[in-house]
Amino acid sequence: MTDPADMRGLFDAATERFGGVDVLVNNAGVGTQKPVPIAETDDELFGRIFDVNTKAAFFGMREAARRLRDGGRIVSISTALIGLALPGRAIYAGSKAAVEVFTNIMAKELRGRGITVNAIAPGPIATPLFLDGKSREEIDDFAKQAPMERLGTPEDVADAVAFLVSEAGGWIDGQTIRANGGMV
């Protein structure tokens, strides 16, 4: 998704198969298993994280702005790490912070088309992306940070996405929903 031609191809395929596109969920994401301080972040790591997390979301949003049918929905996945501001997570959080800014501005740019543009900022979700490379103690510590005292599940995020793309979510626009069990 880091190549604009691939993103156009994805929209072409969806349009051909379904007659148009009504919903875009920007869910591509990459990070590091362990914290990496800014001073120790090499150019390759910085580029890889921003390519996947920021450029891919931008290319998807740009294509959606051009091709989404009126009344459509755009939901991008961000992160609770923006609010947590944990040392060693600046590059990942920064890449997703850009997506939140894109979200708010794009909602205003699409005025008059009935398209909503929102983001969801999950806390730690029990998926391989989060769990791999962490000890049981680290995982338990993260789970205890949220007042809900558990990690999120993919279903928790999917439910928030489902709400935002439904008619019931039609009045929410330009927002970031912090789906993190109260962590931030």
pLDDT of residue 130: 87
What's the pTM value of the predicted model, to 2 decimals? 0.95
Nearest residue to 178 via CA among 96, 61, 87: 96
Domain boundaries, the chain: 4-177
CB 116 within 8 A of CB 164: yes
Q: Which residues are catalytic?
A: 92
pLDDT of residue 129: 80
Instruction: Return the CATH fold of 4-177.
Output: Rossmann fold (3.40.50)
C-alpha–C-alpha distance, residues 77 and 72, integer Å: 17
Per-residue confidence in pLDDT tens, the chain, 184 aa: 889 999 999 999 999 999 999 999 999 999 998 899 999 999 999 999 999 999 999 999 999 999 999 999 999 999 999 999 999 999 999 999 999 999 999 999 999 999 999 999 999 999 988 888 889 999 999 999 999 999 999 999 999 999 999 999 999 999 999 999 999 9
Q: Looking at 38-177, which runs of residues are DSSP E strands?
A: 68-77, 116-120, 176-177
Residue 30 CA, distance from chain mean position: 11
